[in-house]
Chains A and B, each alone.
Chain A
Amino acid sequence: MRTNEDRLVKQAVMGEVSHPLAGTYRTTFEGRPRIVPGMYGVKLNFRVGDPAYGYVSDHLEPGVCIVNPGSVRQHTALNAFACIGNDARVVSGDARGAAGVVTGKHGWQNTFVDFPSEVLGRLVSGDKVQVTGWGTGLTVEGYDDLRFMSMSPRLFEAMGVEDEGSRLTVPVVMEVPGRMMGSGMGGGTGGIPELGDFDIQSTCPELTERHGFSRLRIGDIVAIRDILAHYARGIRPGAITVAVVSHGESGSTGHGPGCAPIISSPPGRINIVTGESANVACLLGLRPDVAW
């Protein structure tokens, strides 16, 4: 398959290792006040490839969450231009020089970088992490009506997408009906789907069970039916949005495992095939310790 990757600019975007936040309780869908860890900071025992459900947490983010502490336009630049599969490097502190990989996005500023476990222990809140942003504007020859976003050429190649003539065949872990999509619908202020993610709602236990969502892992690639994410994410019968599970489940109504879109397709242009190994950690060789 031919892409325009030799025309794509590689640029440095910078973030800092964030610190967790707490303020008040979050009210669960059952009306229970709860305070649990989840967003921001460094997780020592939770990485891409681990289960998206089952931890005592809310919106649990894998590995390291970096944010740009500058203006809105600067922090959205990090989030928009960092692509899943991009190289990252620690440029200050005890872990200086350590190499990592971008694995997901959340909200409009949280960007996730996976580092080997021994590096995670040496990272401190405030350490600077630089990402080689490469992938924004990716196109595939013959598929100009599809939008590719937050997708590094490296991830695209590793995914094993095949050209069937008029359709792309995309391997994913599972399909998700569009009606399950919650927080993040419509996207951020400018409706830029490169920013952050939107959630597979985990707050109706019967539906979670029926669709088998609890077997999802962080890094899984999923196909969301009837959602178009060319611009702001929204309902569109027949459209498919392919996305990477970026953070874990939630107890807050309308929230759940967040998915960062990587491909948005109008109706009739994508075939879905399912397989367990359609996970960023597996495809990029980040978790040799996990069975795929």
Chain B
Amino acid sequence: MMKTNVDSLVMQKLVGEVIHPELWVERNYVATWDGRPKLTVGIGGIVYNVRVGDPVFGWSSDHLNAGAAVSHKDQSRMMALNVFSCIGNKARVVDGDAKGTEGVVVGKTYFYPGHSYRVIVDFPPDGLSRLAIGDKVEVEAWGSGLAIEGFEDVRVLSLSPRLFEAMGVEARDGNLRVPVVMELPGKMMGVGVGRGPTEAGAWDIQSCSPELNEELELEKLRFGDVVAVRDVDSDWGHGVYEGGVVVGVVSHGASDIGGHGPGIAVIFSSKKGRITPIIDEGANVARYLGLREDLE
């Protein structure tokens, strides 16, 4: 059992609302990396037939979010909601027909055009079907400031103590051994680079190069997968850093836009590379938190 500062972490309530879908480019198509006009279905709102645990590729979509996207109309509160919500936190619908339905925070996304940050919440299908756009959802935020004894130089971000415990992270030879579904080279990281605070939104794995997608088997990725990226760091912003390791949770779908792709919400960052990724196909938030009994 790893020792953390969990006893000193504040638990607080945040609230947002289920937001309406938007087009990537207002009143227009988006141009794909190879110059095709494309509509971007599935950014924001409620997505019924894709949940955490499902594949991120293969949908007629771009930047798809699974489940419900929750944000706040006020910029300052939107940032607080996004920064303080942690993956694995409990969420609950507080008004409308789905009032009382419980869900779980499973990701964070960033909508580039409106500079809007969204928390992605997974609800069971019966709750989701009663949910309406505009409904209020509260998050029981717990996890900001989480630190691991002996690993104070490793930044832990957007990670609920509940998910941390379920992941089975171990310390060995001065490193944290973190189960991940795959390891990626830093050159794959795109939009989100340079952005901070790194607790907010997601950092995209570029999926605009079909050859690289195939070579790295990106198409195996699922929503909720935990992945490691080499030679980058996300301590105080996302960027290249020789020897650094970042671990994140896949939060939105693939993209055909240059520089974009499935986004990861970062949960660990170590400039010194004090993270050893351990390949484990089951390293997915849905499995860790028991959200998808229908999946293997």
Contacts and interface: CB of A to CB of B under 8 A. Distances in A.
Interface of A: 27-31, 178-187, 189-191, 199, 201, 203-204, 206-207, 226, 228-237, 252-255
A190 B193 contact: no
B242 A182 contact: no
Contacts of A232: 31, 33, 208, 257-260
Contact of B33 (A179, A190, A207, A234): A234
Contact of B190 (A28, A199, A231, A235): A235
Interface stretch (B123-131, B163-171, B230-238): B230-238
B258 A229 contact: yes
B190 A234 contact: yes
B193 A191 contact: no
B188 interface: yes
B174 interface: no
A174 to B, nearest CB: 17
A254 B259 contact: no
A181 B238 CA distance: 12
A185 B239 contact: no
B187 interface: yes
A31 B237 CA distance: 9
B196 A253 contact: yes
A182 B193 contact: yes
A189 to B, nearest CB: 4
Interface string B174-208: 00000000000111101101111000000010101
A186 B257 contact: yes
A183 B258 contact: no
Contacts of A187: 258-259
Contact of A184 (B31, B194, B238): B194
12 contacts: A29-B233, A29-B239, A179-B185, A182-B193, A183-B193, A189-B113, A191-B30, A201-B193, A203-B237, A204-B239, A233-B258, A235-B259
B200 to A, nearest CB: 13
B101 interface: no
Q: Which of A31, A190, A226, A232 has the most CB of B within 10 A?
A: A232
A186 B241 contact: no
Contact of B239 (A226, A230, A236, A253): A253
Interface string B228-252: 0001011111111110000000000
B187 A235 contact: yes
B16 to A, nearest CB: 23
B258 A254 contact: no
A23 to B, nearest CB: 13
A42 to B, nearest CB: 26
A27 B259 contact: no
Given A179-B186, A184-B194, A237-B212, A207 B258 contact: no
A237 B194 CA distance: 22
Nearest to B260: A186
B187 A228 contact: no
Interface in B101-148: 112-113
A256 to B, nearest CB: 9
B112 A201 contact: no
Given A191-B258, A232-B33, A253-B196, A186 B238 contact: no
Contact of A235 (B25, B113, B206): B206
B49 interface: no
B236 A186 contact: no
